[in-house]
Amino acid sequence: MDYEDTIRASSQEPWVVIGLMSGTSLDGLDVAICKFVAVPDSTEWCGQISRFECFKYPPELASRLRESMELTSEKLFQLDRDWAHFSAKCVNTFNTKADLLSSHGHTVFHNPKDGYTVQIGSGADLAALTSLPVVCDLRRLDVAYGGQGAPLVPKADSILFSQYSACLNLGGFANISHTNSPHNTRAWDIGVCNNLLNLLASELGLAYDNHGEIASSGKVIPAFLTDLMSLSYHQLPPPKSLGLEWVNAEVLPVLNTYKHVPLEDRMCTSVEYIALTIINSCESSGEILVSGGGVFNTFLMSRLDALSRSHSFEFVTPDVSMIHGKEAYAFAFLGLLRFLNKPNTLQSVTGASISSSSGAVWLPNR
């Protein structure tokens, strides 16, 4: 995309970008007001989160998002519109003058093996309702080039968090990016995380296991743990990525096999499974930045700390706004790179034939 009159030159920093992130765990819509400044005479950038808020979804919208994979095509397009309307309303509450809105959207389908990935959230509606230029649909071009379309955050990690040996996100899925690899940045989805724990907590009518208290009261079931660790995905080399399709097809059958086991033991075993898959993916020494909602699961973090003692890396956590808002912050930056027609995907991470500047751009009439 050549620069248009509506797009200023990147030398005119700072840029104020609003990042939107909606994860598969349906905790809510993350909105981060971010500022980015290009470092003169280099390819580096500095950034910060100025404001952050997570907006809970209204129950009716949350229910439709949860069932989105089963909706008819017409109802899915209605949800695409309604998610954008809700998101625009949240953005407008900040009453912030911004240069750009970058939206990850909400993932419904992710099947790069068959050449498609779908993140809903109408960019046209977002642009019309916020009067901001919008970047959205950030994954699809990478998939078109034969990539996984995920993870994308490592591009932001390699620029904005280069002081860490790796960045670990504990969201609906756990994923990691090794930013200081001796060759190229390498990253992948590790496995299921909060999606699994929240699913088990729902058996008690709970949205989640607060601080991992239920899991901490149980014990590990060795056969259950072995079956989870034996899932074929964990033996695949990167590049690789996950969607809820994998949870439904591979994880749920294992859970159903052990439905007779007390819930606290299933939760304890699941935490141990998540922790082990993470430790097995931490191939770097040095400091590993940890963010995402799983940071507040005290039991999970205690297991990670215990299992890491025999290794040469250390887990560190940022301030609370970055714990919650790092993905929205990262997608704000990826959207800015797209707006400036700079690469925002990494071929070494996604397995695409080329690195690309991925995302659709919507410019409002002003």
**What pLDDT was estimated at residue 24?**
86
Residue 138 near residue 331, CB atoms below 8 Å? yes
Residue 275 near residue 307, CB atoms below 8 Å? yes
**What pLDDT was estimated at residue 42?**
77
Report the b/e string of 126-155 with b at 16+ CB within 10 A: bbbbbebbbbbbbbbbbbbbebbbbbbbbb
Q: Are residues 161 and 291 in the same domain?
A: yes
Closest CA to 238 of 156, 154, 159, 309: 154
d(CA 48, CA 32): 10
Q: Are residues 345 and 314 in the same domain?
A: no
219: how many CB neighbours lie within 10 A of its CB?
A: 11
Q: Are residues 276 and 350 in the same domain?
A: no
Q: Are residues 162 and 305 in the same domain?
A: yes
48 phi-psi bin (left φ>0, alpha ψ -120 to 50, beta other):
beta
Residue entry with tokens 């930045």: 289
Residue 235, pLDDT above cutoff 60: yes
CATH of the domain at 99: 3.30.420.40
Count of structural domains within the chain: 2
Tell me the pTM: 0.91
DSSP state of 57: P
Q: What is the mean pLDDT of the chain?
A: 94
Tell me the residue type at 123. Answer: G
**What pLDDT was estimated at residue 5?**
40
In-domain check, residue 1: no
pLDDT, mean of residues 48-62:
97
In-domain check, residue 124: yes
Q: Are residues 262 and 176 in the same domain?
A: yes
Q: Are residues 223 and 343 in the same domain?
A: no
Compute CA distances 237 → 48, 62, 129, 137, 153, whole Å: 33, 34, 43, 26, 19
**What pLDDT was estimated at residue 221?**
98
In-domain check, residue 4: no
DSSP state of 247: I
Tell me the residue type at 29. Answer: L
Of 307, 322, 337, the residue at which a domain comes to its end is: 322
The three-state secondary structure class of 356 is: coil
**What pLDDT was estimated at residue 334?**
98
The DSSP code sequence of 129-182 is: HH-S-EEE--SHHHHHTTS-----HHHHHHHHSTTSSEEEEESSEEEEEETT-S
**What pLDDT was estimated at residue 345?**
96
pLDDT, mean of residues 238-245:
93
In-domain check, residue 211: yes
The three-state secondary structure class of 15 is: strand
**What pLDDT was estimated at residue 179?**
82
**What pLDDT was estimated at residue 8?**
52
161-208 per-position pLDDT tens digit: 989 999 999 999 999 999 876 457 889 999 999 999 999 999 999 999
Residue 1, pLDDT above cutoff 50: no
Q: Are residues 255 and 341 in the same domain?
A: no
Residue 281, pLDDT above cutoff 70: yes
**What pLDDT was estimated at residue 183?**
56
Q: Are residues 335 and 314 in the same domain?
A: no
In-domain check, residue 138: yes
Q: Are residues 137 and 172 in the same domain?
A: no
In-domain check, residue 197: yes
- Report percent pLDDT > 90 for the chain: 89
**What pLDDT was estimated at residue 270?**
98
Strand partners, 100: 17
In-domain check, residue 92: yes
Q: Are residues 84 and 163 in the same domain?
A: no
Range of lowest pLDDT (77-81, 133-137, 163-167): 163-167
Backbone angles phi, psi at 52, to 5 degrees: -145, 140
In-domain check, residue 356: yes
Q: Are residues 189 and 201 in the same domain?
A: yes
Strands (E), the chain: 15-22, 29-38, 45-55, 100-111, 116-120, 134-136, 166-170, 173-178, 186-192, 286-291, 313-316, 360-362
Q: Are residues 191 and 311 in the same domain?
A: yes
Residue 206 lies in domain: 153-322
